[in-house]
Structure 1
Amino acid sequence: MTRAPIMQAMMSKASLAACALLLGAVAPAAAAEEGGHGAHIERQAWSFGGFAGQYDKAQLQRGFQIYQDVCSACHGLKRVRFRNLVEPGGPEFPEESVKALAHGWANKITDGPDDQGKMFDREPKLFDPILGPFKNEKEGRAAYGAAPPDLSLIAKARNVEYTGTWWWHPVSMARDIATSYQEGGADYIYALLTGYGEAPADVKLAEGLHYNAAFPGHQIAMSPPIAKDSFVKYQDETGSLEQNAHDVAAFLSWAADPHLNGRKSTGWLVMLYLVVTTALLYAGKRVLWSKIPH
């Protein structure tokens, strides 16, 4: 990662308005979906899914590029610090590159007071959070009519909704438990970003709203932040709407759960410990009771 964040100077006003509502700061749907259910969302394959899944470092690095180029113009990651981009289990960028990234980050840190008792803005450092462009919620609301949400926990705050029959619901829940399904937020983010399209003939869109197949009610105020013909190209000149959406969804999942890799690795060690301990206790019990007549 060598380039500094420069997209705030390059993005159009329309793109900024689209980002302002990214992944949550959306107007209420014009009409709820029939039956009160949300849209059906297909499950995606994620490297971090299941009991043994782990984050893909290369994917997290690409996902951060999407966040930097598209989302950071309006959204912060205040619960993620620049140093977290270096730590194991995450994107694992080189520390010197992250220092340069922080130094050139467009959104400064308000610090102080200084010797004159005044607050001042300074360049971010490794221990500082990744802030968005707005100092507070009211400033964001004044700019766009709705405060752009912080994306630190967006993958935990959003989820998919069960849309099947009532009698199949217990089976679905049991399957989710058996497979350790926790990727609902990532599935929703991916579906939302790729769900834009032309409204069906029988759907009348309210003024200023866009058709989105994944959004409940299918009418959403957010303009498409990425599209089939407008997506972020990676450093190797590859990229697509689907890959952009997949990568940024994975990155936001890491932002919401940065210790997943370590937790799952520790969990398997604990399970191994319990199996070995159980075997030793059973063997000890057999030896002990074999000497006692019964």
Structure 2
Amino acid sequence: MCSFQFFFVWCNNKQQLLFSVFIANMSFASLPRSKKVALTTLGVVAAGGAGLALMLHQSVKASELELHPPHYPWSHAGPLSSLDHASVRRGYQVYKQVCAACHSMEYLAFRNLVGVSHTEAEIKAIAEEFEVVDGPDESGEMFTRPGKLSDYFPKPYPNAEAARAANNGALPPDLSYIVNARHGGEDYVFSLLTGYCDPPAGVSVREGLYYNPYFPGQAIAMAPPIYNEVLEFDDGTPATMSQVAKDVCTFLRWAAEPEHDQRKRMGLKLLLGSAILFPLIYYMKRHRWTVLKSRKIAYRPPK
């Protein structure tokens, strides 16, 4: 037995109107036989279609043979956790010395690092290490100059065709928003960087490709980019493979979401403000406004 009742109520301080749009007391047992058969058939078809769609979805996932990355306990993953800025600094060093040879970060400027991982003087010195093509000058010629804070990170290749030609036809993706562009975020990037291994028995990888179970298709054109002691961190942190991968993933998370810490800080302020504001609003509504709202004003003309 099921009962459905729908009401639309509209009230203001002058009048109250009650509109009953649809009132229906409906029981499945009281329906005619033809309607019972139609509803039963519709339910069976809907359930069968949902089951078939689920089975097809699972079969497609199984045929892809894609290994999903595990979830790692990142220090910034909590609702009130901030980024590890020392790790961001080390991650930029990994990008500069390892990743920048092939991957660009065209949406990130040197000035974005000021106050996050480096001081202004440090970033000025880093930017001046690069030669930037600028111009034209007064004679209409292009010229090179040392980089400055307003410049974006230099690209390793002048265009996409040159990048493909240098990497056997593969185009290295831009890393500015890579953790947001890949399912799994930094979990995927960490697993990809540390997941290189020999292919299992019966699996052959074409020459020039490398086996990585976390990459879609398992055959990736990028050679293993990191290994133990691939570089030396300026702060003396041991550069193990997992440490290097963790730091560069933290840097890439910051690059994709520079407002990460500010967003969580504003969220905490909103929660604290709501804890004070909501009880006050409830008190005003329950004990002040309802008295005025329910007050009846009657006009009695003089006799």
Q: TM-score range by the shorter chain?
A: 0.7 to 0.9
Q: TM-score, normalised by structure 2?
A: 0.71
2:87 maps to what in 1?
59
Structure with the greater relative contact order (CA < 8 A, sep ≥ 6): 1 or 2? 1
Cα shift at 1:237: 5.4
Secondary structure at 2:107's aligned position in 1? strand
Cα shift at 1:276: 1.6
Q: TM-score, normalised by structure 1?
A: 0.73
Cα shift at 1:202: 2.5
Cα shift at 1:233: 2.8
Secondary structure at 2:68's aligned position in 1? coil
Q: Which amino acid aligns with 1:59?
A: S
What are the residue-to-residue correspondences of 1:24-35 with 2, within 5 Å? 34-35=62-63
User: Is the 1:152–1:252 contact (alpha carbons within 8 Å) kept by the matching residues of 2?
Assistant: yes
Cα shift at 1:136: 2.0
Deviations 1:174-210 (A, max 9, x none): xxxxxxxxxx210110000000012222322222221
User: Is the 2:229–2:239 contact (alpha carbons within 8 Å) kept by the matching residues of 1?
Assistant: no
2:105 maps to what in 1?
77
1:102 to 127, 133, 154: 127
1:193 maps to what in 2?
193
Secondary structure at 1:52's aligned position in 2? coil
Q: Which amino acid aligns with 1:284?
A: M
User: Is the 1:199–1:211 contact (alpha carbons within 8 Å) kept by the matching residues of 2?
Assistant: yes
Query: Using a 3 Å threshold, how does the CA distance of structure 1 residues 138 and 254 change in structure 2: closer, same or farther?
Result: same
Q: Which amino acid aligns with 1:64?
A: Y
User: Is the 1:75–1:131 contact (alpha carbons within 8 Å) kept by the matching residues of 2?
Assistant: no
Report the Cα distance in structure 2 between the residues aligned to 1:124 and 1:77, rounded to whole angstroms.
Answer: 15
Equivalenced residues, count: 233
Which runs of 5 or more residues in structure 2 are unaligned? 1-59, 296-303
More deviation in 67-76 or 282-291?
Answer: 282-291
Which runs of 5 or more residues in structure 1 are unaligned? 1-31, 160-183
Pair 1:128-2:151 in alignment? yes
2:64 maps to what in 1?
36
Structure number with larger C-alpha Rg: 2
Q: Which amino acid aligns with 1:231?
A: V
Secondary structure at 2:222's aligned position in 1? coil
Q: Which amino acid aligns with 1:151?
A: L
Cα shift at 1:282: 1.4
Secondary structure at 2:199's aligned position in 1? coil
What are the residue-to-residue correspondences of 1:269-280 with 2, within 5 Å? 269-280=269-280
Cα shift at 1:126: 0.6
Secondary structure at 1:285's aligned position in 2? helix
Cα shift at 1:291: 6.1
Secondary structure at 1:254's aligned position in 2? helix
1:148 maps to what in 2?
172
